[in-house]
Structure 1
Amino acid sequence: MSDHGRMHMQRSGGSAAPDAGAAHPYPRITSFRSRRSALTEAQQEVWDRLWSQLGTQARFDAKPAEHLDTTAWFGRRAPVVLEIGCGTGTSTLGMAVAEPDIDVVAAEVYRRGLAQLLSAVDREGVSNIRLVRGDAVDVLEHMFAAGELTGVRVFFPDPWPKSRHHKRRLLQPTTIALIADRLRPGGVLHAATDHAGYAEQIAEAGDAEPLLQRVRPGDELPISVQRPTTKYETKARHAGSAVSELLWMRRR
């Protein structure tokens, strides 16, 4: 983690270093694939100039738990939304611009995707986006406290379509339980997928989580659930894949 990134992390009071031999409360899920992450010259220039200010690396190892101090990082106190797997940031950027009073933390494992989003943030002069490179479960578990988030967005996570790979899907009951714990009362979990089987699995897990309830027509929500249409989504629709929007609210 950069020195600047450490400025925006605070130790949670009374935390002890985790026991390396203890069972992890939230099982790690290999929900992403290996990809090339070489940056273009322009992307590298923006990365070198802005990453230490707007980005941080999620690394925890055997240290005491540390939480993001989003008030210090964004320079204000505002509702915070975590977007997991932001990709190249099309939805992240569009939704952040539409909601300037909401601060967005975009988490992604792929450096190139983060670099594309960072370049767009620089180009558009957007001030309410920060970036984290790291695993979603690590980010949720260690970087945010219970009841801290106003929203969590997970758009088009890898469906791992083969049956033997379903265990690698991100949105399993344990991860949804962790998301629910990190949401404040009334906070929103917004997931979207174009894979029918994965949509069924997410729906079943979300409905089974006791801290969550389905968002109903007329419910007043603290964040927008209107997403920009991405190139990936357009291709999926043209291929005949229906997109499922799945929305829950943390019980008040």
Structure 2
Amino acid sequence: MLSFVRRGGRLTSGQERALNELAPEYLIEPKRGDGVTSIAADQETDPARWFGRKAPLVVEIGSGQGHQITHAAAATPERDFLALEVFTGGLARTMVLAEQLDVHNLRLIEANAPEVLEHLLPAASANEIWIFFPDPWHKARHNKRRLINDSFVPLIARALQPGGIVRMATDWEEYAEQMREVFDRADGFKRGFDGEWAERFNGRVLTAFEKKGIAKGRNIRDLSYIRVAEGATQSKIG
């Protein structure tokens, strides 16, 4: 399951340095499957091995340049954070930011996120999963590439522990509606909000990407869903 098109690009000297000097601490190198961002099956790993401790784990899918996850890691050192991203430049920039903020409770994987959830993370290992501003693939013929769909939800459900939360945000109204429809009908989740949309997650920083959407007049939609026992009645919480 791929929801992205991998694009290469020339790295800056700072990004090259990050890959050479910072990667040993921050970058996890799992066994690969058939592609450079694939994950080989049957290699579940306890996250405590990556961080050297047991702590609540937050996974961000599509961490981009790392502004969100490095800010969160610096603000909540009692938690551990795992960034999943397919663009090498973004991973390098994230490591640079982590170094600047003196963050050490962060690890990164260059990988297709669904494969990480399916093959690398143990079941019920994550406290939260964040998916902020995934590619909307706004052209109708490309909608099938969207990450949030019925086949992806079971992988999120597998990775989240009971009571865990998946948090999402997008500036594409139609995609927000799709996300809500997918999770509303999904077994094993209940709404974490009242009304049409969740309130803005106060742990989400205002990135340049979000500012761009606001400048274009788009509404920013937040959603949150709580992992419950499969078959449990869908309900809202205040």
Q: Is TM-score (shorter-chain normalized) higher than 0.5?
A: yes
- TM-score normalised to the size of structure 2? 0.87
Which amino acid counterpart does residue 18 of structure 2 have in structure 1? Answer: V
**Does the 8 Å CA contact 2:70/2:101 hold for their aligned counterparts?**
no
Is 1:112–2:89 an aligned residue pair? yes
> How far is 1:196 from its partner?
0.7
Provide the rounded CA distance (Å) in 1 between the counterparts of 2:41 and 2:11. 33
Is 1:79–2:51 an aligned residue pair? no
RMSD: 1.6
How many percent identity over aligned positions?
Answer: 35
**Does the 8 Å CA contact 2:46/2:122 hold for their aligned counterparts?**
no
Residue equivalent to 1:48:
20
Is 1:180–2:157 an aligned residue pair? yes
Provide the rounded CA distance (Å) in 1 between the counterparts of 2:73 and 2:133. 18
**Does the 8 Å CA contact 2:41/2:119 hold for their aligned counterparts?**
no
Provide the rounded CA distance (Å) in 2 between the counterparts of 1:148 and 1:201. 26
Which amino acid counterpart does residue 6 of structure 2 have in structure 1? Answer: S
Provide the rounded CA distance (Å) in 2 between the counterparts of 1:184 and 1:64. 21
> How far is 1:64 from its partner?
4.7
> How far is 1:178 from its partner?
1.1
In the alignment, which of 117, 123, 136 is matched to residue 146 of structure 1?
123
**Does the 8 Å CA contact 1:58/1:135 hold for their aligned counterparts?**
no
Residues 1:240 and 1:64: Cα distance change in structure 2 (over 3 Å): closer
Residue equivalent to 1:4:
none
Which amino acid counterpart does residue 181 of structure 2 have in structure 1? Answer: E
Residue equivalent to 1:201:
178
Is 1:241–2:218 an aligned residue pair? yes
Correspondence list, 1:6-155, <5 A:
28-29=1-2, 31-61=3-33, 64-155=41-132
> How far is 1:143 from its partner?
1.1
Please give the per-residue CA displacement for 1:142-166, whole angstroms capped at 9, x wherever unaligned. 1112111101000100000011111
> How far is 1:127 from its partner?
1.1
Residues 1:58 and 1:171: Cα distance change in structure 2 (over 3 Å): farther
**Does the 8 Å CA contact 1:86/1:108 hold for their aligned counterparts?**
yes
**SS of aligned partner of 1:199:** helix
Please give the per-residue CA displacement for 1:92-126, whole angstroms capped at 9, x wherever unaligned. 11111221111000000000000000011112110
Runs of 5+ consecutive residues of structure 1 not aligned to the other structure = 1-27, 218-223
Provide the rounded CA distance (Å) in 2 between the counterparts of 1:78 and 1:97. 15
> How far is 1:35 from its partner?
2.2
Runs of 5+ consecutive residues of structure 2 not aligned to the other structure = 35-39, 195-200, 230-238
Residue equivalent to 1:14:
none
Residues 1:156 and 1:64: Cα distance change in structure 2 (over 3 Å): closer
**Does the 8 Å CA contact 2:47/2:121 hold for their aligned counterparts?**
no
